[in-house]
A and B are shown apart, each in its own frame.
Chain A
């Protein structure tokens, strides 16, 4: 064998191998695409369908073989492709976009459609990948959850209201005078019922957070006003716990923040309420506000039991309560700080804290200043 011939043979065998590898690679990719639970379509630069996986055939209810090398428009005599074409705006847009598609036939299903432009380097062209994801189940669960929350609110709160109103009217002497002992007993019952009402309220807030639709009424607010109102509401609890509330009014007027006032008040109240509840007798709660050009920072410091070092990482978890907090107050739900953190995060802010066990905690609520 001449050297030349030998060289040629080597070359061709290299080509054969790489060709074989390419085919195997291609088959692999096809197998992957075909076994995806999402529907996938590829459209080439001439807007022709060059790939359609079985799941997409199934979702759109069309024959893959038939639709290959046709445009979406050309197969839009079928219901599925026609719907897809129409939600894409009856055109092929080479951009990364999300759409929602509802197919009524053969039975009602909801899909998320994602278009992704794919650059094909070798051909210097752009293809469009269309991914179709069946989200019918998610949507149904979301709807059921909302309905459940409303129903649960109503069903749980109605008997709680009856108990609350009855006990309150008994306590107020509306049905005759009570002895001191009777009053004390009923007062206990009333407080237990209040705890249950708070728990239901917290659970509903959590459900709302988890649905991801929490902030509604965004308005420009002055934080010192919100804090003042919270302090008025908490005055009684502070007095009962023998805790002094100190508000260091800002000297200059504060820049306003754009917030859901009701939710922010909930946060402020919750954190001050914690500072009162987990304080020591004759302790203080000090509230102050400062700001720079970007953020407003509300600091709430207490002289209370503090948070054990090893439990700080879990403080904002749902249902978590620190061991010393459980001991000093049995009534908390473990949902307050979880709700607070979520509300502040949704406003683009954050809650931070520092603490020393036995000495007290300082919580910082940071909110972006409205522009």
Chain B
């Protein structure tokens, strides 16, 4: 479904679209994020669980990954670990976007090589996009 919409994205600026993989199991949150990111002309793929996230990261080679932590199958920490172990995906900046926010979890995420750790409830979609843009520059 997302692929279909991707083809409709304008490319008027001539610059290559940045590809963002959104890993989020909550359908509503995912839809909101995807909508906002598409407004900003990003090319989007989504994954709902850990296994799908790893597969899509490896095949689609996004420029950035937004990664939720509590997702079905492999959890986000495990996904991040595997992404960083794979030479094909270990350079893709991966931003944790979760509602877990204890220092223990933040340290674990950053220790595994996350580029940033964002707590969903503390940021608006606009602020999340600003962070994404900042990392892609």
Contacts and interface: CB of A to CB of B under 8 A. Distances in A.
Interface string B86-124: 000000000000111111110100000000000111101
Given A162-B32, A174-B36, A208 B102 contact: yes
Contact of A161 (B29, B70, B103, B105): B29
A262 interface: yes
Interface in A2-20: none
B102 A200 contact: no
A165 B29 contact: yes
10 contacts: A153-B99, A154-B99, A157-B101, A157-B119, A158-B26, A162-B28, A165-B124, A169-B36, A172-B126, A200-B121
Contact of A197 (B36, B39, B70, B122): B122
Q: Is the interface of A mostly helix, strand, loop or mixed?
A: helix
A168 B102 contact: no
Interface string B7-43: 0000000000000000000101100110110010000
Nearest to B119: A157
A34 B62 CA distance: 68
B127 to A, nearest CB: 9
A275 to B, nearest CB: 22
Nearest to A207: B102
A168 B124 contact: yes
Contacts of A37: none
B103 A168 contact: no
A216 B100 CA distance: 16
A149 interface: yes
A150 interface: yes
Interface in A145-180: 149-150, 153-154, 157-158, 160-162, 164-166, 168-169, 172, 174
B52 to A, nearest CB: 20
Nearest to A216: B103
B26 A153 contact: no
A162 B103 contact: no
B100 A160 contact: no
Contact of B121 (A149, A157, A166, A174): A157
